[in-house]
Amino acid sequence: MSRVCKMSKNVREVFRLDELKDDIRRNMVALLGNDPRSKRKFSYYNALAYSVRERLVDLWMRTQSDYYDSMAKRVYYLSMEFLPGRFLMNYLTNMGIVDECREIVAELGFSLEELEEEEWDAGLGNGGLGRLASCYLDSMVSQNIPGYGYGILYDYGIFYQSIVNGNQEERCDNWRRHGCPWEITRLDTLYEVKFYGRSETYYDSDGNVRFRWVDTENVMAMPCDILIPGYGCSHVSNMRLWTAQSSREFNLSDFNRGDYIGAMHGKVMSENITKVLYPNDQFLQGMELRLKQQYFLVSATFQDILRRYLKQHTSLAALPEAVAVQLNDTHPAIAIPELMRLLMDVYGMGWDVAWDICTRTFAYTNHTVLPEALETWPVDLLGRLLPRHMQIIYEINRRFLEGVAATFPGDTERLSRMSVIQEEGGQRVRMANLAIVGSHTVNGVAALHSNILQTGLFRDFHEYYPRKIRNVTNGVTPRRWLMQCNPALSRLITQSIGPEWCCNLEKLRELVPLAEDSAFRDAWARAKLENKRLLSRYVLRKVQMGINPNTLFDMQFKRMHEYKRQLLNVMHVISLFNRIKDNPSADITPRTVLFGGKAAPGYYQAKLIIRLINEVARVVNADADVAGRLRVAFLPNYCISQAEKVVPAADLSEQISTAGMEASGTGNMKFALNGALTIGTLDGANVEIMEEVGAENIFIFGLKAHEVAEKRRSGYNPREFYENDAELRRVMDMIGSGFFSPDERGLFSPVYDSLMHHGDYYMLMADYRPYMEAQAAVDALYLDQDQWVRKSILNAANMGKFSSDRSVMEYARGIWHVEPLGK
Ligand code: Z15
């Protein structure tokens, strides 16, 4: 341990930086088979990456043997998604060798930035849930909590988005086409994963009835590790991603019969399991292949967990003292019946002992209350793919409902609400109910969201298990989301308050008094302007549009979803356009409104809103009266590496979801941490951001969560707002009548209709006027740059709570019951 800690003292020696240049040249030849005199950026990026990685392997092995020797309890973070983005700068940042590396790379004739741009993002996730998992891995290893990420190595990550004639087009993201220098493939480790077949009863030698799963189709899982360096390289962990390989005996009989192609077909099909990430964010499609992916992750992971555990233990009875498993949403919840199956059918335990071990091992994080995102699987599908698990689920449910019935005699409605099996509309397994019953702790991801779980979605469970449902507010890692993405601001902060903030974000509070120092405010404003200039260059390159860094940069970057209300933002833009047209000489605050985000390929309404943004942009940006006052752009292919350019350059962060719908949000934290002011509803973690930064330093507007709920109950009438607000009426009529789509007048009717005729479920009409007023307050404040910068500083200064280091420590102490090693 102490040996490892000392490593960070002298990075030059520890990481043999004097040899780095030679190593890069050596790797050019030995690993890449390239001539070192070649000037190909991609080759040099790879050679650098391998040279950096090899410096960590040794530390990684030492960290792992520390964990082994101390018999520390391990945390397994199971997630169908990780969204790490690029690795190079993260490795260099956490190793503390960015500046040294920049020099060495310069001597080779490159800038570090140009090599950085050669890397493809690892886009193995859709959005917030996957990115949260990656932030948590960074925080776990940086704080010396023995943890691992377990997930799937998709051949194709989240699709590449391009915009063609204003519409989203999807292209496949073949991110490893040219190899990935970060992955360490374990060709010699293979686990067998079973599917289909049937559950068979037999009698063991003591005459007890037992079960075995037979006649299965098998696929092999091969692990691929990606190292996760802790900050200061205190420790190095890894995420282990599984890839599907056909099993060797796959359809041996077909081979023997001479049906070579038939046998190969089965082989290819089995390897499809890890081919592609499902691109739906918060929407269940219910495809068999997706359920296969989930079980594939779970089965391979548990074989690995038990193998590691049994190296140091003789009995599985102490599993919960040595292993904590966190389920990132219900996606890996099939782990609960899987562990039951392993303990009973493979290791011979009885139900009660197995169930006790199970429920002391698992904890479940809920990330949404949207009904369309809650996973339910048809019993016939689950029972065909995983027949033994289906049996176990029925038995879990039978015993569970027996307990509920004893506590609430005669309350059959409650029983049917709480049942793991949904009966109406064909039997389905409710994965959230299964996850709650099978876990010792369930958590929401922001205070408001956890409250909604307790009093709304999971109310019955909260009454039955009064301490099970709790809150852990999300966080983001300050390493990637300030230090790495915003060098200008990081430098200023470190100069002013020292470097400790990046491991103790609460230290940022020391910036509060500096908000009153005009020289500091100037320096703060200069850093922001520098970032805005960099982004302007990027925008010019990407969409051939010049934007003015001296205008207010108003940003909404997130997945496209109706509940996130990008449309409300567009309605504000159209209103500004109208005001300028009505009064071309009016004195208005010049704005650049930027959007980015992917729509699920099958989500018609979200795609139509992308089109609307682009058509509004076309009209606005071409108008001579508007020039210099309002610009609008949609940046294609929002991803982690783009976020790292966008977030530091924002003045205004749009967090405007319908109250009660955004579980937490984490973009809200990243933007505020980088000095953006937030305009937002009292939703998700916005509530806590307001508490931290002070109501006077944030623009809060609109209905509150309980008001949204009341309005839904009492009958909400969107037309009332249309009739009573002329400015709103004009906006709606322009959208509905084809003002922005002259060649196709009805193009945006579905947008108009959803608000005017289909009930405006997300209540944009009700929040329009309050939003306009909040935006007017934004405009006014921006004209007073001194005040604006003061508030910008106070926002960043008060973001300490939203470090993922704090979140992870809450999980560690309150849920996993692990302590940082060596403390
Ligand atoms: C996802 O990204 C989130 C929730 C989900 O249920 C799924 Cl399937 C994907 C997001 C929430 O929408 C967001 O509010 C939250 O900050 C994030 O998870 C991380 O908890």
**Is the CB of residue 282 below 6 angstroms from any atom belonging to ligand 1?**
yes
Give the Å distance between the CA of 454 and the centre of ligand 1: 18
3-state secondary structure of 149: strand
The per-residue pLDDT for 395 is 98
Dist. CA 142–CA 147, nearest whole Å: 11
The per-residue pLDDT for 7 is 45
3-state secondary structure of 217: strand
Give the Å distance between the CA of 2 and the centre of ligand 1: 38
Give the Å distance between the CA of 373 and the centre of ligand 1: 10
The tally of CA atoms less than 13 A away on the side-chain side of residue 242 is 33
Rounded to an integer, the average pLDDT of 729-749 is: 98
Tell whether the model's pLDDT for residue 4 goes beyond 50: no
Dist. CA 771–CA 655, nearest whole Å: 11
Structural domains for the chain: 1-70+87-120 (no CATH), 72-85+124-474+808-816 (3.40.50.2000), 512-798 (3.40.50.2000)
Give the Å distance between the CA of 506 and the centre of ligand 1: 25
Query: Taking the CB of residue 302, how many other CB atoms lie within 10 A of it?
Result: 21
Dist. CA 512–CA 551, nearest whole Å: 26
Rounded to an integer, the average pLDDT of 486-497 is: 98
**Is the CB of residue 129 below 6 angstroms from any atom belonging to ligand 1?**
yes
Beta pairing class for 652-655 and 677-680: parallel
Which two three-digit tokens encode residue 147? 């943890």
**Is the CB of residue 446 below 6 angstroms from any atom belonging to ligand 1?**
no
Give the Å distance between the CA of 97 and the centre of ligand 1: 33
**Is the CB of residue 328 below 6 angstroms from any atom belonging to ligand 1?**
no
Query: Which are the contacts of 418, defined by CB distance < 8 A and separation ≥ 6?
Result: 400, 401, 404, 433, 460, 461, 464
**Is the CB of residue 128 below 6 angstroms from any atom belonging to ligand 1?**
yes
Which two three-digit tokens encode residue 107? 């001597």
Q: Are 793 and 524 in contact (CB under 8 A)?
A: yes
CA distances, 397 to each of 329, 393, 492, 534 (Å): 20, 6, 57, 56
Would you list the DSSP string of 375-398? Answer: -EEEHHHHHHHSHHHHHHHHHHHH
Q: Which atom of ligand 1 is nearest to the CA of 125?
A: 2
Dist. CA 794–CA 675, nearest whole Å: 8
The per-residue pLDDT for 247 is 81
Dist. CA 296–CA 192, nearest whole Å: 9
Which of 80, 135, 282, 283 most suits a substitution to test ligand 1, by most atoms within 8 Å of the C-beta? 282
User: Which candidate, 387, 390, 392, places its Cα nearest to that of 199?
Assistant: 387
User: Which candidate, 595, 609, 589, 613, places its Cα nearest to that of 555?
Assistant: 595
Catalytic annotation, residues: 367, 558-559, 564, 666, 670
Dist. CA 477–CA 803, nearest whole Å: 6
**Is the CB of residue 662 below 6 angstroms from any atom belonging to ligand 1?**
yes
**Is the CB of residue 666 below 6 angstroms from any atom belonging to ligand 1?**
yes
Tell whether the model's pLDDT for residue 6 goes beyond 60: no
376-378: strand order across its sheet:
376-378, 428-430, 421-422
**Is the CB of residue 132 below 6 angstroms from any atom belonging to ligand 1?**
yes
Total residues found in the chain within this entry: 823
Least confident of 107-111, 249-253, 352-356: 249-253
Region class of 258: left (phi > 0), else alpha (psi between -120 and 50), else beta: left
Give the Å distance between the CA of 128 and the centre of ligand 1: 5
- Tokens 């990780």 identify what position? 82
Q: Which atom of ligand 1 is nearest to the CA of 665?
A: 16
Q: Which atom of ligand 1 is nearest to the CA of 365?
A: 20
**Is the CB of residue 667 below 6 angstroms from any atom belonging to ligand 1?**
no
Give the Å distance between the CA of 273 and the centre of ligand 1: 24
User: Which candidate, 332, 762, 823, places its Cα nearest to that of 568?
Assistant: 762
Tell whether the model's pLDDT for residue 820 goes beyond 60: yes
**Is the CB of residue 663 below 6 angstroms from any atom belonging to ligand 1?**
yes
Q: Which atom of ligand 1 is nearest to the CA of 474?
A: 20
Give the Å distance between the CA of 244 and the centre of ligand 1: 27
Tell whether the model's pLDDT for residue 689 goes beyond 50: yes
The per-residue pLDDT for 255 is 75
Tell the residue nearest (CA) to atom 16 of ligand 1.
665
**Is the CB of residue 657 below 6 angstroms from any atom belonging to ligand 1?**
no
Q: Are 139 and 804 in contact (CB under 8 A)?
A: yes
The per-residue pLDDT for 417 is 98
Q: Are 228 and 139 in contact (CB under 8 A)?
A: no
The per-residue pLDDT for 9 is 54
Angle at which helices 749-756 and 604-622 cross, to 10°:
110
Dist. CA 668–CA 658, nearest whole Å: 15
Q: Are 247 and 296 in contact (CB under 8 A)?
A: no
Tell the residue nearest (CA) to atom 1 of ligand 1.
129
Q: What are phi and psi of 378, to 5 degrees?
A: -55, 135
Which two three-digit tokens encode residue 486? 């915003």
Mean pLDDT of the chain: 96
Q: Which atom of ligand 1 is nearest to the CA of 662?
A: 14
Tell the residue nearest (CA) to atom 19 of ligand 1.
129
Give the Å distance between the CA of 126 and the centre of ligand 1: 9
Q: Which atom of ligand 1 is nearest to the CA of 666?
A: 16
Burial label, 230 (beta-carbon count in 10 A; 0-12, 13-18, 19+):
buried
Q: What are phi and psi of 470, to 5 degrees?
A: -135, -175
The per-residue pLDDT for 258 is 80
Which two three-digit tokens encode residue 460? 């019955």
Q: What is the pLDDT of residues 414-440, one digit of tens each?
A: 999 999 999 999 999 999 999 999 999
For Cα atoms 107, 110, 113, give the angle at the middle one, nearest 5 degrees: 125
Beta pairing class for 167-171 and 160-164: antiparallel
Which of 368, 560, 689 most suits a substitution to test ligand 1, by most atoms within 8 Å of the C-beta? 368
Query: Which are the contacts of 471, defined by CB distance < 8 A and separation ≥ 6?
Result: 443, 444, 445, 446, 447, 449, 450, 451
Q: What one-letter code names the amino acid at 564?
A: K
Q: What one-letter code names the amino acid at 272?
A: N
The per-residue pLDDT for 66 is 94
Dist. CA 771–CA 113, nearest whole Å: 39
Q: Which atom of ligand 1 is nearest to the CA of 366?
A: 6
Q: Which atom of ligand 1 is nearest to the CA of 684?
A: 14
**Is the CB of residue 665 below 6 angstroms from any atom belonging to ligand 1?**
yes
Q: What is the pLDDT of residues 299-325, one digit of tens each?
A: 999 999 999 999 999 999 999 999 999
Rounded to an integer, the average pLDDT of 408-413 is: 98
**Is the CB of residue 95 below 6 angstroms from any atom belonging to ligand 1?**
no
The per-residue pLDDT for 262 is 82
Q: What one-letter code names the amino acid at 653?
A: S
Percent of the chain with pLDDT over 70: 98
Percent of the chain with pLDDT over 90: 93
- Tokens 């006052």 identify what position? 629
The per-residue pLDDT for 251 is 61
Rounded to an integer, the average pLDDT of 640-668 is: 98
Dist. CA 442–CA 364, nearest whole Å: 5
The per-residue pLDDT for 1 is 35
Give the Å distance between the CA of 367 and the centre of ligand 1: 5
